[in-house]
Copies of this chain bind each other. A is one copy, B any other.
């Protein structure tokens, strides 16, 4: 029999991240990581980092790092919040802004952490079904809400919406905070950072894990009005004042300052994506028009779970979601050209085999 003290342990259904195989020679297209290393400036910043300074706490305000991010976007330091990965920033934002008794609302097919955070923080929520074309319809978010959170581009659909969509959303939702999760925006989506000046209740969350190749460094940030950012700071400071460590700030600053490398690698990923999309379509796949670093694809004649499992036996890891509506699709992260050539070859093998 269980002890009494176990009764008050919080029960949660943990998020299941993309499989991390211990095998060395796999092609890893299952976690939307960037296939290119971070900027050479990051290597330099880490190599030259003075570890003696680690005896001191980091700058709790992350002043210099925030200034670098602000410079990149031509905004003010006071419009920037930084955290330990965008999951940390998003989770804190949920806790900070979603305290209404009305449910918050997000798409039915979206980042799987949203409902998990709602359960964890006891936030009421409801989901809005995507259209048949997997698009988000702004009119579905017209009702009075406790808050709205939408990834743009959305994951795992890879589809993005434009300025008109965001403006509509903001017009409909003046009495709650609207979070746009722009984790993938750099790969061709519309960024609504420009709208944060117009809408004081619009918060954008971003990450260094995708377009800046720093998933291992855990850096996320948010952009919004001074009022929103100050509230996030207050809650962060009451939870854990020092979330971003000193080396992460040094590496992050180096990464955001290297625009050239950023543009170059992002362009390469986009170019590869467009090529792979065409190739897959030639092979009979339906592939959504991605604005991200991954493709959402299905095949008229094939079972996608079987395809996913076949590729796994060939040491090519993609992602399959065993969930209603998307269980006939796979999600394929864009790797290097060489990796994608192997992926395409294995795909042809699979199609030819049956």
- A residues adjacent to B (C-beta < 8 A): 3-15, 17, 20, 28, 31, 33-38, 42-43, 46-47, 49, 51-60, 84-85, 87-88, 91, 95-100, 113, 116-117, 119-120, 146-147, 174-177, 200-201, 209, 213-218, 227, 231, 233-235, 237-248, 251
Contacts and interface: CB of A to CB of B under 8 A. Distances in A.
Contacts of A251: 51, 54
Nearest to A84: B84
Contacts of A243: 84-85, 88, 218
A117 B237 CA distance: 11
25 contacts: A5-B175, A7-B100, A8-B97, A8-B99, A9-B97, A10-B95, A10-B96, A10-B235, A12-B237, A17-B241, A33-B55, A35-B55, A37-B52, A46-B247, A54-B216, A58-B215, A58-B216, A84-B240, A85-B243, A88-B240, A91-B240, A120-B238, A216-B246, A218-B245, A247-B248
Contacts of A235: 10, 12, 120
Nearest to A88: B240
Contact of A15 (B227, B231, B237): B237
Given A146-B8, A243-B84, A54 B37 contact: yes
B217 A246 contact: yes
Among A6, A15, A240: residue with most chain B CB under 10 A? A240
A253 B98 CA distance: 38
Contacts of A213: 54-55
A127 B165 CA distance: 51
Contacts of A176: 4-5, 8
B60 A4 contact: no
Contacts of A85: 240, 242-243
Nearest to A249: B216
A116 B240 CA distance: 10
A58 B239 CA distance: 23
A213 to B, nearest CB: 4
A319 to B, nearest CB: 13
Contacts of A88: 240, 243
A14 B237 contact: yes
Contacts of A9: 96-97, 99, 177, 231
Among A9, A177, A237: residue with most chain B CB under 10 A? A9
A55 B5 contact: no
A5 B201 contact: yes
A67 to B, nearest CB: 14
A103 to B, nearest CB: 12
Nearest to A255: B54
Among A56, A91, A243: residue with most chain B CB under 10 A? A56
Nearest to A177: B5
Given A10-B96, A201-B3, A227-B6, A239 B117 contact: yes
Contacts of A31: 56-57
Contacts of A87: 239-242
A66 to B, nearest CB: 15
Contacts of A175: 3-5
A174 B5 CA distance: 7
Q: What 7 A-B pairs come out closest when comparing CB atoms?
A: A54-B216, A14-B237, A216-B246, A4-B175, A37-B52, A87-B240, A55-B213
